[in-house]
């Protein structure tokens, strides 16, 4: 599975405005409405927020991976958001999250969803990768950094 096949520049927001977890999730869901042929944004938002109540998806090193499954999509959909100020996402390390990878997968499909999470976890361990994302000025720079990380150039 190639991670970049599931994102395009329209699914990336470099200046997230949300200051709370629910606001960030809502912003990212809105990115997917048109680009991913989402049939019901409210259903997706509810699914992601429900998943967050089960346990925060805030990881370490300023990264969060909010995700859920929903019948409102027919393929894996990914939105990426970057917050310069950071948001309290109840991360494992107690620090603010700056990089957000929101994923929605169809309820009847688990392979790509799990593979995507594994790829993100692998990439975010690379300091240079996280730094490139935080410094990105254009969505294509985020995609380029992900492509480089996927082939081991970062």
Beta-ladder partners of 68: 104
How far apart, in whole angstroms, are the C-alpha atoms of residue 25 and residue 45?
7
Q: Is 81 exposed, middle or buried (0-12, 13-18, 19+ CB in 10 A)?
A: buried
For residue 98, indicate whether it is catalytic. no
Mean pLDDT for all residues in the chain: 93
How far apart, in whole angstroms, are the C-alpha atoms of residue 66 and residue 21?
10
How far apart, in whole angstroms, are the C-alpha atoms of residue 21 and residue 102?
12
- pLDDT computed for residue 47 by the predictor: 96
Q: Read off the tokens for 59.
A: 């990881």
How far out from the chain centre does Cα 132 lie? Answer: 16
How far apart, in whole angstroms, are the C-alpha atoms of residue 65 and residue 54?
14
- pLDDT computed for residue 2 by the predictor: 84
Active-site choice (6, 67, 98, 113): 67
Indicate the domain borders of the chain.
3-150
Report the candidate in 100, 94, 92 with the shortest Cα–Cα distance to residue 134. 100
State in words which class domain 3-150 has.
alpha beta
Is a pLDDT exceeding 80 seen at residue 18? Answer: yes
At 90-148, the pLDDT tens digits run 999 999 999 999 999 999 987 888 899 999 999 999 999 999 999 999 999 999 999 99
Q: Which residues contact 153 (CB under 8 A, 6 or more apart)?
A: none
- What is the SS3 assignment for 150? helix
- pLDDT computed for residue 34 by the predictor: 73
- pLDDT class of 38 with cuts at 50, 70, 90: confident
- pLDDT computed for residue 20 by the predictor: 96
Per residue in 30-52, is it b (16+ CB within 10 Å) or e — as a string? ebbbeebebeeeebbbebbbebb
């Amino acid at each position: 599975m190639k991670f970049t096949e599931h994102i395009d520049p329209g699914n990336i927001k470099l200046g997230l405005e949300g200051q709370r977890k629910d606001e960030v999730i809502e912003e990212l869901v809105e990115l997917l409405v048109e680009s991913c042929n989402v049939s019901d944004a409210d259903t997706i938002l509810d699914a992601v927020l429900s998943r967050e109540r089960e346990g925060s998806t805030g990881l370490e090193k300023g990264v969060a991976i909010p995700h859920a499954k929903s019948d409102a999509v027919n393929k894996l959909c990914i939105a990426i958001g970057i917050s310069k100020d950071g948001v309290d996402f109840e991360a494992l390390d107690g620090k603010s999250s700056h990089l957000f990878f929101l994923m929605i997968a169809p309820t009847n499909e688990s392979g790509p969803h799990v593979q995507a999470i594994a790829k993100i976890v692998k990439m975010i361990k690379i300091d240079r990768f996280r730094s490139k994302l935080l410094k990105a000025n254009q969505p294509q720079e985020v995609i380029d950094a992900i492509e480089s990380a996927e082939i081991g150039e970062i």
